[in-house]
Amino acid sequence: MKALVKAKPERGLWMQDMPIPSIGPDDVLIKIRKTAICGTDLHIYRWDEWSQKTIKTPMIIGHEYVGEIADAGANVKHKFTIGERVTGEGHIACGECRNCHRGWDHICANNYGVGVHRDGCFAEYLSIPATNVVRISEKIEDDLCSIMDPFGNATHTALSFNLLGEDVIITGAGGPIGAMCVAIAKFAGAKSVFAVEPNDYRRELAKKMGADVCVNPLKEDLQEVLKKHNLIGFDIGLECSGNGGAFNQMVTAMYNGGSIALLGILPSTSPVNWNEIIFKGLKLKGIYGREMFETWYKMEAMLLAGLDIKPVITHKFNVDDYLKGFEVMDSGNCGKVILEW
Which letter does DSSP use for residue 114 in this model? Answer: B
Q: Which residues contact 103 (CB under 8 A, 6 or more apart)?
A: none
In the set 43, 63, 106, 156, the catalytic residue is: 43
Radius of gyration of the chain (CA): 20
Of residues 237, 203, 231, the one with CA closest to residue 217: 203
Helix axes 176-187 and 148-158, enclosed angle (nearest 10)? 50
- What whole-number distance in Å separates Cα of residue 264 and Cα of residue 255? 21
Which is catalytic among the residues 35, 40, 157, 171?
Answer: 40
Q: Is 40 considered catalytic here? A: yes
- Give me the helices (H) in the chain, please: 39-46, 49-54, 98-101, 142-145, 148-158, 176-187, 200-208, 222-228, 244-253, 274-280, 294-304, 322-331
Question: Cβ atoms within 10 A of the Cβ of 125, count?
Answer: 22
User: Is residue 43 among the annotated active site residues?
Assistant: yes
Residues labelled catalytic: 40, 43
